[in-house]
């Protein structure tokens, strides 16, 4: 390296680039980048923007399908038929939420909503997947409260229902919580807007809020690095959201789309103007001339560097055909939304940015973007030593320190199982009046589609990190299978996947091995179940100085219902109905909630998963729901069969209960084991022959295990109680735990 390059090299290192990457940037430009260009390389080549350590593996996932229209731009699009499509995507906002939980979570929701309406779609729902540490820790209680409040405040103010999700608590998330947000929208296929810049001479226009200094280097210095002992120094990199401004932005953009004045559009998320101009230009193989003086600013003295890299929220970059600028401006004035022409598309594939009339950055767009100029790596992978050590433990052979009834009550009140009503009651889940099954009443959210009367969609998010920790390949397969099973339980056909992959430092060979195996497992499960992956997000560096989080791939699943009146909830509905366990009964306790709550262990192996059994089970659920042979369905997940049955009683209409007589000895593994590909359904007695015949045709075990009764809940030889007592214990456990922490704090 020449002596004159030393200051720029030092700056590159401070911005997160390596010496080799700095050399690559110089080689691509044929010269040394200036400070502004170097900042652009640093943010665009960060893990968050370039996927440099994950791209090769992500390319192994199945991407195509009969219904898939496009993916990996703003959001994936899946064809519904009759001229409509569903846009959906999940992303993380983990690091911002750890530093500033309210704004981190709120802007996570705002960002994923913009990804949806950047396609032209109308957002119709949000779900979330949350992970926190031990509730006895005072800061964890603070994070829970603020994250939930941030999600609720943004979604409620914008006017989109939060219809489902999951919340888990494990010590590994104490310093690094996970906040993953999924959004879904509906769009007419003739109004889908591409995230591509086309048309030489067309105007490049910035629509939305003024640009400030918030969020600068959020992608490279916050999302692409691990935390130190104190994360407060990173607070300036966290964006600040305004849901009311976003709502107006959405309305203005929708009217502009309908008026035909938008030819291309991209959300300004990570890396702001730098990212949106570079990615749109690279996709269109064009260039842009950008006048940064035309960008509406909060502070007039902002530098080109700050303007380009700011991640201020509620902004969109749009391409407006030449001559249509006055129409676009009139629409924005109507809605009180700022719009500014900041440049134009050029035929030379070079980005040129000007500030105060001077050229401040000049570079080809492809040099900045993932899969082209940005570096791509294949990291070293090594199986962690703990894997064999923990798998050597046979959980089924451990002594049972608690009587089955005592273990049942302890599990029912455990934070990972207990009712999350305290969380979801802070969200508006009925705005837009499309919600068919309310949170807590079904295995997946179900929404009716006003645009296609009678039809609906189902959505779920799922991922058990303990399984992935013990067996990354099989654990990720289970995440896909369970998310699809949840959708099938409500009577919807699973059709597509989006994913959020939360892991530690990819430069650690053991972490990268976890990631690699999980991606392979996810891909194999998706191929076996016929589920294309339409896009998603990778979040690395989720760790603190003490430890990394458990590997946590979260699967977002989309399903379609041809007849929304066939939707099936989890709660029993009719006294005298029969209870059937459909699927294989295996005695497996590895990675179970029982093992964690009763023994304080995460050990053994992830449960067995046979994908042929899973396919058969999902076919059973779809056929039984369509023929209206079942009145309820709930899969056996955390807590196993006994907890599944309790949740069915708690979710029942009125005071219906269950009288259960299991055909197996009620050991801990039978009661609380988390064997896969099992559901409990209820049906009228006269439907039993049809269901048994369907199971025989599909090669599925089907065991009659009980009957729906009034008010009481009984498992023969284990416990007898009332549904009222079950519900009280289940509903009060999480608020009680939070109150205890509050007193400690």
Question: For 235, how many CA atoms within 13 A lie in the half-sphere containing its CB?
Answer: 7
E-strand ranges in 110-161 read 122-132
CA-CA-CA-CA dihedral for 19, 21, 22, 25, to nearest 10: 160
pLDDT value of residue 217: 67
Spatial contact of 608 and 588, defined as CB atoms under 8 Å apart = yes
Global model pTM greater than 0.85: yes
Residue-level pLDDT at 2: 43
Q: What b/e sequence results for 267-284 when a residue is b if at least 16 CB atoms lie within 10 Å of its CB, and e otherwise? A: bbbbbbbbbbbbbbbbbb
Q: What pLDDT does 214 receive?
A: 82
**Between 138-158 and 243-258, two packed helices, what is the crossing angle to 10 degrees?**
40
Q: Which residues of the chain have pLDDT under 50?
A: 1-4, 71-72, 220, 223-224, 229-232, 234-235, 741-745
Q: Residues with Cβ < 8 Å from 425, sequence gap 6 or more?
A: none
Question: Catalytic residue at 93?
Answer: yes
How far is residue 647's CA from residue 572's CA, in Å, rounded to a whole number? Answer: 10
What per-residue confidence (pLDDT) applies to 597? 97
**Distance of alpha carbon 683 from alpha carbon 667, whole angstroms:** 27
Residue 356 annotated in active site: no
Q: What is the pLDDT of residue 742?
A: 46
Helices (H), 440-495: 465-470, 472-489
> What backbone torsions phi and psi does residue 342 show, to the nearest 5 degrees?
-105, 0
Residues 6+ apart with CB under 8 A from 519: 54, 57, 58, 60, 61, 476, 501
* Length of the chain as a residue count: 745
The CA angle 480-485-486, to the nearest 5 degrees, is: 100
Fold for the domain defined by 197-374: Phosphoribosyl-aminoimidazole Synthetase; Chain A, domain 2 (3.90.650)
Active-site choice (93, 95, 634, 729): 93
- Taking the C-alpha atoms of residue 157 and residue 247, their distance in angstroms, rounded to an integer, is 8
Distance of CA 33 to the CA centre of its chain: 36
Distances (CA, A) of 634 to 120, 572, 648, 678, 682: 35, 10, 7, 9, 9
Domain ranges (residues) in the chain = 3-48, 197-374
**Contact in structure between 311 and 269 (CB atoms under 8 Å):** yes
Strand order in the sheet with 315-320: 264-267, 315-320, 203-208, 339-346, 287-291, 351-355, 358-363
């Amino acid at each position: 390296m020449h002596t004159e390059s030393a200051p720029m090299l030092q700056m590159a290192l401070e911005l997160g680039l390596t010496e080799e990457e700095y050399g690559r940037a110089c080689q691509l430009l044929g010269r040394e980048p200036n400070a502004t260009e170097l900042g652009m390389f640093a943010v665009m080549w960060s893990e968050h923007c370039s996927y440099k350590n994950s791209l090769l593996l992500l390319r192994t996932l199945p991407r195509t399908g009969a219904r898939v229209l496009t993916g990996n731009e703003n959001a994936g699009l899946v064809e519904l038929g009759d001229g409509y499509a569903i846009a959906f995507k999940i992303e993380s906002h983990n690091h911002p939420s750890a530093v500033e939980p309210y704004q981190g979570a709120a802007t996570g929701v705002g960002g994923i909503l913009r990804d949806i309406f950047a396609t032209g779609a109308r957002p119709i729902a949000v779900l979330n997947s949350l992970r926190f540490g031990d509730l006895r820790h005072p800061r964890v209680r603070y994070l829970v409260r603020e994250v939930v409040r941030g999600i609720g405040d943004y979604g409620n103010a914008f006017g989109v229902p939060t219809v489902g999700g999951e919340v888990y608590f494990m010590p590994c998330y104490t310093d690094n919580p996970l906040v993953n947000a999924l959004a879904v929208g509906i769009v007419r296929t003739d109004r889908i807007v591409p995230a591509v810049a086309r048309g030489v001479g067309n105007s490049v226009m910035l629509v939305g809020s003024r640009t400030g200094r918030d969020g600068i280097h959020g992608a490279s210095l916050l999302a692409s690095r691990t935390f130190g002992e104190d994360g407060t120094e990173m607070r300036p990199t966290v964006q600040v959201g305004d849901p009311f401004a976003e709502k107006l932005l959405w309305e203005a953009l929708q009217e502009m789309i309908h008026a035909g004045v938008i030819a291309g559009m991209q959300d300004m998320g990570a890396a702001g103007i730098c990212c949106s101009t570079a990615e749109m230009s690279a996709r269109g193989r064009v260039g842009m001339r950008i006048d940064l003086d035309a960008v509406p600013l909060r502070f007039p003295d902002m530098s080109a560097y700050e303007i380009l890299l700011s991640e201020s929220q509620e902004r969109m970059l749009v391409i407006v055909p030449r001559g249509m600028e006055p129409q676009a401006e009139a629409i924005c004035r109507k809605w009180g939304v700022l719009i500014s022409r900041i440049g134009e598309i050029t035929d030379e594939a070079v980005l040129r940015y000007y500030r105060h009339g001077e050229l401040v950055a000049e570079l080809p767009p492809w040099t900045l973007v993932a899969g082209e100029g940005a570096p791509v790596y294949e990291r070293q992978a090594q199986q962690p030593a703990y894997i064999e050590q923990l798998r050597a433990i046979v959980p089924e052979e451990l002594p049972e320190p608690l009587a089955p009834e005592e273990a049942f009550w302890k599990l029912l009140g455990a934070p990972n199982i207990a009712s999350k009503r305290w969380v979801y009651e802070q969200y508006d889940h009925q705005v837009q009046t499309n919600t068919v099954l309310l949170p807590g009443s079904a295995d997946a959210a179900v929404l009716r589609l006003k645009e296609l009367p009678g039809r609906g969609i189902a959505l779920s998010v799922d991922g058990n990190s303990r399984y992935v920790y013990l067996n990354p390949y099989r654990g990720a397969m289970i995440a896909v299978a369970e998310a699809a099973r949840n959708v099938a339980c409500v009577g919807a056909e699973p059709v597509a996947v989006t994913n959020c992959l939360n892991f530690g430092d990819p430069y650690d060979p053991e972490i990268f091995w976890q990631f690699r195996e999980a991606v392979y497992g996810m891909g194999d499960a998706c191929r076996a179940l016929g589920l294309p992956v339409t896009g998603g997000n990778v979040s690395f560096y989720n760790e603190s100085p003490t430890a990394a989080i458990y590997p946590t791939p979260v699967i977002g699943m989309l399903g379609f219902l041809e007849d929304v009146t066939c939707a099936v909830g989890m709660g029993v509905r009719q006294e005298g109905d029969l209870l059937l366990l459909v699927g294989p009964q295996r005695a497996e306790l590895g990675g179970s909630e029982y093992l964690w709550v009763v023994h304080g262990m995460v050990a053994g192996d992830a449960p067995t998963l046979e994908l042929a059994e899973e396919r058969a089970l999902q076919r059973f659920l779809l056929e039984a729901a369509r023929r209206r042979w079942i009145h309820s369905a709930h899969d056996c997940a955390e807590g196993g069969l006994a907890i599944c049955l309790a949740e069915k009683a708690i979710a029942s209409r009125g005071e219906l209960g269950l009288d259960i007589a299991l055909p197996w000895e009620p050991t801990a593994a039978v009661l609380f084991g988390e064997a896969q590909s099992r559901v409990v359904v209820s049906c009228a007695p006269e439907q039993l022959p049809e269901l048994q015949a369907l199971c025989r045709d599909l090669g599925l075990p089907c065991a009659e295990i009980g009957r729906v009764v009034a008010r009481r809940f009984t498992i023969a030889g284990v416990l007898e109680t009332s549904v009222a007592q079950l519900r009280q214990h289940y509903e009060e456990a999480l608020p009680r735990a939070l109150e205890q922490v509050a007193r400690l704090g």
